Amino acid sequence: MEITKYPKHLAIIMDGNGRWAKKQGLLRIFGHENGARSVRQTLEYCVEHKIPYLTLYAFSTENWNRPADEVKALMDLLVKFLKKEFDDLNKNNVRLNVIGNLDRFPDKTKEVLLNTIEKLKHNTGTTLTLALSYGAREELLTAAKHIANKVSKGDLAVENIDETLFKQHLYTSNLPDVDLLIRTSGECRISNFLLWQIAYAELYFTDVLWPDFTKKDLETALLSYQGRERRFGKISEQLT
Ligand code: FPP
């Protein structure tokens, strides 16, 4: 079947790198390295099919609790990826965006990230958003604090706090809501990812481990998405 309806915003929880490596008798970092290959393929697909927003959960606030050598290896991998892929990202008209709290990131990683964002900012194709040191509860608390601050200073009236205003205080203020959320590796959890933004998203879970995830697996997910009726609380007859 042909895919004719693509999501505007695709988000992915890239899970299973560690298990993939273990299955091959390799260290976990090799799973992440091979996961980077799946990132490239997924992004390429989004570019080819003009999916405007791709958001990837690359490092959660909880991931800081992993062994120090794995955290370091992930930081290094990110830098390596951005340097190696820069020309292709630019050629493919990709914009880069980051959501999360970068304060804890090593200076070098932060510098490369911000530099890459800057150099790609004039592109107009797919926006690749990396969720780094990201946690949805932290994002929501930060938004609530900013809003409360404005109220306490008298700059904002409580009556004017609505969904539009709240959204403007999230890391994702410049992104539309998620249409399709994919999680790989057989886990059926959200794990603190984009809790506000997935309110009406379609969820798709697959047993495929992230380093094995190919364009074909993505097409299977997109076909499932295409077959779903999104009613946003309405009834079928109201949709046409
Ligand atoms: C989850 O698998 C994956 C991560 C915590 C990191 C994701 C990072 C990449 C895919 C590396 C490349 C990313 C970019 C953006 C270049 P896991 O380690 O929790 O797997 P497990 O559940 O099998 O242990």
Closest ligand 1 atom to the C-alpha of 28? 18
Residue 16 beta carbon below 6 angstroms from any ligand 1 atom: yes
Give per-residue pLDDT as tens, 112-139: 999 999 999 999 999 999 999 999 999 9
- For ligand 1, the distance from its centroid to the CA atom of residue 7, given in whole angstroms, is 23
Share of the chain above pLDDT 90, in %: 95
Instruction: From 206, 200, 187, 209, select the one nearest 228 (Cα to Cα).
Output: 200
Residue 135 beta carbon below 6 angstroms from any ligand 1 atom: no
- Whether the pLDDT of residue 230 is over 80: the answer is no
Give per-residue pLDDT as tens, 10-65: 999 999 999 999 999 999 999 999 999 999 999 999 999 999 999 999 999 999 99
- Whether the pLDDT of residue 150 is over 90: the answer is yes
d(C-alpha 75, C-alpha 232), whole Å? 39
Q: Whose CA is nearest to atom 15 of ligand 1?
A: 58
d(C-alpha 153, C-alpha 38), whole Å? 47
Instruction: From 38, 39, 35, select the one nearest 16 (Cα to Cα).
Output: 35
Question: Known catalytic residue: 115?
Answer: no
Closest ligand 1 atom to the C-alpha of 57? 7
The pLDDT, as a whole number, for residue 233 is: 84
- Whether the pLDDT of residue 232 is over 90: the answer is no
- For ligand 1, the distance from its centroid to the CA atom of residue 13, given in whole angstroms, is 9
